[in-house]
Every structure is written in structure tokens, then in C-alpha cells.
């Protein structure tokens, strides 16, 4: 009898997806109104709560922590951006109330409008009870370690907020799309982490729990280089001021590695086993979280992203169970109570 009960439990939705996007119709319409119809060069897919929950059911996903993806909510006009962020967050809260056991949500903030972001953070957390915030890796070239954001990060730290970092378009000069599309997400996530590390933000605001999308981009593979940049054993000056400043604060490579180990990384990587092996070299499995990238990843591919985690021979049954659910519950204990 017990084996039958356990089998039934395993067949029921149990996974928690931390990289799951929504596309409310008003958001798509608002962006179309200012001439934006794509994300990372891809047309906005159709989305609805019904289709999302159907995909979740078919893939054993009990709860999805939703977010607005690139291009986010900031589009130069502060009034427009603040209003769009508010509408997205209120919609996310409505979704949580209607489907309390199926959806959580990261709040969108209209950065680099810091005043607007602080006001929206207070409303989204205190009034709407959202689960954390999503921050774009950069907006208009402002990366997350920029001193402009210190006031916001101080408040996120005071509140011990969970911050999910999602890549944005690179602010570089225009280059051919075929050189941009496959690389932008990984590159910009990595730049955001380097920005936070070299400016000391990851040390100053260490009560913030940060989740990196796309398995941390290039961070796990390049961790030692990122942790100390081009700094050599002979203590020669590096070519990059940010890297040099990091070493001037009496930091060595292992200090940087310890900081990178503190972050959380999702499982969304097209590299599969090779990416997981590199990620596993950097962080404990307790800091790895399940991700699908639905709705931007077509529903027919969602199962393959989940299967990749289960197929990887470096995770035994216990880490797989933790990655699929238990690690997220540690970050989002509210889900246990629903």
C-alpha cells in the first residue's frame, strides 16, 4: 500500500519552476503601442493562464514563480514605465489570488528610475505580497552594480528580498543578429554578476538572495577568472579597473569564489550535461533551482528541460528532488502553506 501511495505522490505535480514568464495582453499591447514587438529578436508568443497551467500539469510543475521577461517595463518615459510596472505587478497578484497553489511572482521595477523602483518595491511587497523582484541585468547600459542603484539595493538588503536576475539586450553597438541571439543572455548575466562583484555590492548587500537565470550564463565556467579577473600571482596591476579595485580591497581568488557560491543558479542551459558539470564544480546542489523559460521556450520543449536535469548522471535522486522542489521551498516557504 505504501509503495502505491508514494507512486501516486510522484505522479502529482510537485516541481517548482523559478524561470517562468507571463505575457498579459495589456503588456503586449502597451509595447506594441511604442513599436516593440519582440524579445531578444523573437516575436511575443501567445500566453494565457489556462495554457500555462495545462503545460505545468503535463510536466509535473506544481508552482511557477512568474516574471516579466525582456524587454522589461522601462522605456524612457518614467510615467509610462511606472504605470506599466504597477499594472504588471497587480496582474501578478491577481494571478496568485486566483491560483494560490499554482503561481508565485517576482515584481517588476522600473529601473533605472530608482525613485519609481523604491515606490513600486514597497507596494509590491507590502500590499501585493509578491515573492521577490526581477531585475534586468542592465537597462540602457546601467548594470546592477552601478552606484546609482545603491539606495535600492540597500532597501532590498534591509528587507532580505529574493532577487531574480534576468538578462537584457546588450547595450553594445549593433552587430549581426546571428552573433547576438544565442549569446546575449549568457553574456549579460555574466556582466551583471561581474558588476555586482567588483563594485562590492555582493558583499555590502549579502542579505539579498540572488537567483541567476540561464545557469548563471558564463559565470560557472569562468568563475576563477571572474573571481580575480586578470590579477596574477605576482600581484601585477590588471587591465580592468573593476578587477583591480576588487584586489585592492585585499581580496583574493578564494574570496571571490566564496561570494559566487552564495548565489543561486537555475537549470536553464542549452549546454546540458557539460553545463551542469561545470555548475556542480562551483556550487552545492542546494543552490540549484529548476527552470523552464516558458512561455518563451515553446511548450513542446519544456519536458526536455526537465528531463535534462533527471538525465544528468552527476545528480543522484536526492539532489534531483531538491533541485525540482526542496531548494525553492527554502527560498519561498509561503508555498508550503498554500
Q: What is the pLDDT of residue 8?
A: 34
Q: What is the pLDDT of residue 180?
A: 62
Band of pLDDT at residue 9, cut at 50, 70 and 90 = very low
Tell me which of 39-43, 84-88, 185-189, 323-327 is least confident: 39-43
pLDDT single digits (tens) 155-169: 999 999 999 999 998
Band of pLDDT at residue 179, cut at 50, 70 and 90 = low
Q: Indicate the angle between helix axes 150-159 and 114-122, nearest 10 degrees.
A: 20
CATH number 3.20.20.140 is the correct assignment for the domain at 13-332 = yes
Q: What is the pLDDT of residue 231?
A: 46
Alpha-carbon distance of 14 to 9, in angstroms, equals 8
pLDDT at 233 over 50: no
pLDDT at 70 over 90: yes
Band of pLDDT at residue 181, cut at 50, 70 and 90 = low
Higher pLDDT, 317 or 130: 130
Pair 212, 189: CB distance under 8 Å: yes
pLDDT at 259 over 80: yes
Query: How big is the chain, counted in residues?
Result: 338
Band of pLDDT at residue 274, cut at 50, 70 and 90 = confident
Task: Sort strands 142-143 and 138-139 into parallel, antiparallel or unpaired.
Answer: antiparallel
Secondary structure E strands in the chain:
15-21, 38-39, 42-43, 61-67, 103-108, 132-136, 138-139, 142-143, 162-166, 209-212, 264-266, 288-289
Alpha-carbon distance of 238 to 336, in angstroms, equals 48
Band of pLDDT at residue 243, cut at 50, 70 and 90 = low
Contacting residues for 294 by C-beta, under 8 A, at least 6 apart: 17, 20, 21, 52, 55, 64, 302
Using a pLDDT cut of 90, give the percent of the chain over it.
75
Alpha-carbon distance of 196 to 37, in angstroms, equals 31
Helix then strand then coil, % of the chain, to nearest 5 = 50, 15, 35
What integer best gives the mean pLDDT of the chain? Answer: 89
Amino acid at each position: 500500500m505504501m509503495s502505491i501511495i508514494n507512486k501516486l505522490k510522484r505522479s502529482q505535480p510537485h516541481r517548482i519552476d523559478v524561470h517562468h514568464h507571463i505575457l498579459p495582453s495589456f503588456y503586449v499591447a502597451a509595447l506594441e503601442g511604442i513599436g516593440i514587438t519582440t524579445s531578444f529578436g523573437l516575436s511575443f508568443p501567445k500566453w494565457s493562464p489556462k495554457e500555462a497551467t495545462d503545460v505545468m500539469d503535463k510536466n509535473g510543475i506544481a508552482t511557477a514563480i512568474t516574471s516579466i521577461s525582456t524587454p522589461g517595463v522601462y522605456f524612457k518615459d518614467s510615467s509610462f514605465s511606472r504605470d506599466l510596472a504597477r499594472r504588471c505587478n497587480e496582474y501578478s497578484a491577481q494571478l496568485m489570488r486566483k491560483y494560490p497553489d499554482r503561481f508565485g511572482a517576482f515584481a517588476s521595477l522600473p529601473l533605472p528610475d530608482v525613485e519609481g523602483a523604491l515606490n513600486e518595491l514597497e507596494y509590491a511587497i507590502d500590499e501585493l505580497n509578491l515573492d521577490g523582484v526581477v531585475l534586468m541585468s542592465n537597462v540602457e547600459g546601467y548594470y546592477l552594480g552601478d552606484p546609482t542603484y545603491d539606495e535600492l539595493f540597500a532597501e532590498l538588503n534591509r528587507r532580505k528580498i529574493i532577487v531574480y536576475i534576468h538578462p537584457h539586450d546588450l547595450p553594445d553597438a549593433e552587430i549581426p543578429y546571428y552573433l547576438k541571439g544565442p549569446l546575449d543572455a549568457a553574456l549579460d548575466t555574466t556582466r551583471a554578476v561581474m558588476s555586482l562583484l567588483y563594485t562590492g555590492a555582493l558583499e555590502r548587500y549579502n542579505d539579498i538572495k540572488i537567483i541567476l537565470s540561464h545557469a548563471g550564463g558564463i559565470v560557472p565556467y569562468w568563475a576563477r577568472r571572474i573571481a580575480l579577473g586578470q590579477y596574477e600571482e605576482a600581484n601585477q596591476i590588471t587591465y580592468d579597473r573593476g578587477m583591480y579595485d576588487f584586489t585592492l580591497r585585499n581580496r583574493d581568488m578564494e574570496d571571490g569564489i566564496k561570494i559566487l557560491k552564495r548565489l543561486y543558479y537555475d537549470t536553464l542551459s542549452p549546454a546540458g550535461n557539460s553545463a551542469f558539470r561545470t555548475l556542480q564544480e562551483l556550487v552545492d546542489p542546494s543552490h540549484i533551482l529548476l527552470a523552464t523559460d516558458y512561455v518563451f521556450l515553446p511548450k513542446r520543449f519544456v519536458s526536455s528541460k526537465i528531463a535534462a536535469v533527471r538525465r544528468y548522471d552527476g545528480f543522484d535522486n536526492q539532489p534531483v528532488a531538491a533541485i525540482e522542489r526542496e531548494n525553492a521551498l527554502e527560498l519561498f516557504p509561503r508555498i508550503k502553506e498554500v
